[in-house]
């Protein structure tokens, strides 16, 4: 397997481990989120120093990067909270409607017009989520499920805002600088809430919190950066959908959260629509570049 493709695969798989790690850590969502982001930021700073890139640490990232850090903290903590009330599959599939939501917002407010094919794929993804819910949107008598879906919705909106705000960041801000500061700001945003929780952390829990910072934090982001430098956006965007597949697989194997045929078909529709959208976006970018060169 090509090393860059392997990096993208590992990045997606590592990202998908945060749900399982948070369950095993057995502390508040705020605590898991803080350590994932803070340890990730510290390791990123250490990496930049070790590789002679100190200037990337000393670069002012800009207000937009700081704002995205707050959105990053929001989508991580809301996603982890949602796992206390609904299945990992429901939470992650709702979370992965964020690119759909971002595309709709960009269509109306950022001049990124949707094509007929893109609109059709958005509809397909929404239909896939309806299948995940088994076409049962009556949440009366399902209080826990309703709360979980609400928190997952909050996570999705924060993730969509994270995607959109990242598009506005100037290219002069290196991706490693951006990632490090986003994690640091996210950790600082969540710190007061973590302190308020006052979790007493035992020895085994420290291991899981460190794992959260190393695996879905630092390693996942570093591998994603490596892959993005070499792979077309469409290829990386397609491989990124291994993250929800990882979440669903871990939920099934580790926690017995089985899906029926209808729900698995819904997962497939969401994932396929995302993959095709990534391919179409890459093709559109190539056409735009070709037209600009004429």
By three-state DSSP, how is residue 276 classified? Answer: helix
- With a pLDDT cut of 90, the percent of the chain lying above it is 37
Q: Is the pLDDT of residue 148 over 90?
A: yes
In whole angstroms, what is the distance from residue 194 CA to residue 196 CA?
Answer: 5
Q: Is the pLDDT of residue 292 over 70?
A: no
CB atoms within 10 A of CB 253: 10
Q: What would the pLDDT profile of 86-117 be if each residue is shown by its tens digit?
A: 989 889 888 888 878 888 888 787 777 777 88
**What are the angstrom distances between the C-alpha of 260 and each of 2, 172, 252, 253, 294?**
34, 47, 11, 14, 52
* CA angle 230–234–236, rounded 5-degree value: 50
Q: For residue 202, give every residue at least 6 positions away whose Cβ sits within 8 Å of its Cβ, in sequence order, or none.
A: none
User: Which position has the token pair 């979790």?
Assistant: 199
* Per-residue model confidence (pLDDT) at position 21: 94
Q: What would the pLDDT profile of 57-76 be if each residue is shown by its tens digit?
A: 988 888 998 999 999 999 89
Q: For residue 265, give every residue at least 6 positions away whose Cβ sits within 8 Å of its Cβ, in sequence order, or none.
A: 128, 131
């Amino acid at each position: 397997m090509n090393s860059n493709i392997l990096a993208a695969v590992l990045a997606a798989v590592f990202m998908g481990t945060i749900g399982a790690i948070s369950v095993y850590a057995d502390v508040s969502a705020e605590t898991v989120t803080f350590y994932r982001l803070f340890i990730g930021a510290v390791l990123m700073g250490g990496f930049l120093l070790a590789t002679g890139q100190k200037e990337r640490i000393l670069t002012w990232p800009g207000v937009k990067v700081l704002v995205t850090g707050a959105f990053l903290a929001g989508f991580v903590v809301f996603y982890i909270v949602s796992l206390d009330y609904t299945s990992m599959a429901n939470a992650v599939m709702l979370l992965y409607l964020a690119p759909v939501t971002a595309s709709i917002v960009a269509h109306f407010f950022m001049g990124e017009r949707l094509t007929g094919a893109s609109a059709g794929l958005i509809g397909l993804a929404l239909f896939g989520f309806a299948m995940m819910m088994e076409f049962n949107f009556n949440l009366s008598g399902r209080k826990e499920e309703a709360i979980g879906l609400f928190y997952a919705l909050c996570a999705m909106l924060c993730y969509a805002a994270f995607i959109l705000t990242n598009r506005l960041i100037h290219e002069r801000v290196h991706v490693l600088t951006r990632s490090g500061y986003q994690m640091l700001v996210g950790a600082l945003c969540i710190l007061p809430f973590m302190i308020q929780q006052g979790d007493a952390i035992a020895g085994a829990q420290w291991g899981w919190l460190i794992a959260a910072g190393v695996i879905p934090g630092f390693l996942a982001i570093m591998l994603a950066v490596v892959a993005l430098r070499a792979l077309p956006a469409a290829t990386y965007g397609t491989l990124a959908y291994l993250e929800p597949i990882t979440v669903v697989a871990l939920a099934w194997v580790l926690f017995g959260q089985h899906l029926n045929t209808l729900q698995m078909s819904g997962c497939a529709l969401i994932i396929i629509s995302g993959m095709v959208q990534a391919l179409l976006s890459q093709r559109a970018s190539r056409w735009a570049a070709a037209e600009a060169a004429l």
